[in-house]
Amino acid sequence: MLTLGGSAVVALVALATYLNKMDNQAAWIPGLAGAWVSATLFALDWRNSQIIRHCYVTGRELEKSLGIEADHGFYTGLAPKPMISYSIVLRTFFAATFASSLITGVIAWSA
């Protein structure tokens, strides 16, 4: 997801720069498109993390029902830990690109 988000943002910034140099009135479109892409990827990552969390809970319950000891179970060891995860990094990146793209689009639109 980070590769897709980063590629989309770079492509939209390049398009906005090109349109701005050409004095095109549509220079605001890439900014708003970047905000839309970032918001969509943020929502996809949030939903993906919910699905994975539910899979881990189901795996833990399955291990318990099969009588697998807590020390030897795969999913039992995947209990949530307080740390910075990849999902938090992604969501921070998507929120930052959403805000910057939206601000850029609004500034280009009002100019």
CB 38 within 8 A of CB 56: no
Characterize 37-61 residue by residue with b for buried, 16 or more Cβ atoms within 10 angstroms of its Cβ, and e for exposed.
bbbebbeebeeebeeeeeebeeebe
Assign 1 to helix, strand or coil.
coil
Amino acid at 58: T
Q: Where in the chain are the domains?
A: 2-110
Lowest average pLDDT, out of 52-56, 72-76, 100-104, goes to 72-76
This prediction's pTM: 0.75
Asked whether the predicted pLDDT for residue 106 surpasses 70, the reply is yes
pLDDT at 28 over 80: yes
Number of other CB atoms surrounding residue 90 within 10 Å: 20
Question: For residues 82 and 7, is the Cβ–Cβ distance under 8 A?
Answer: no
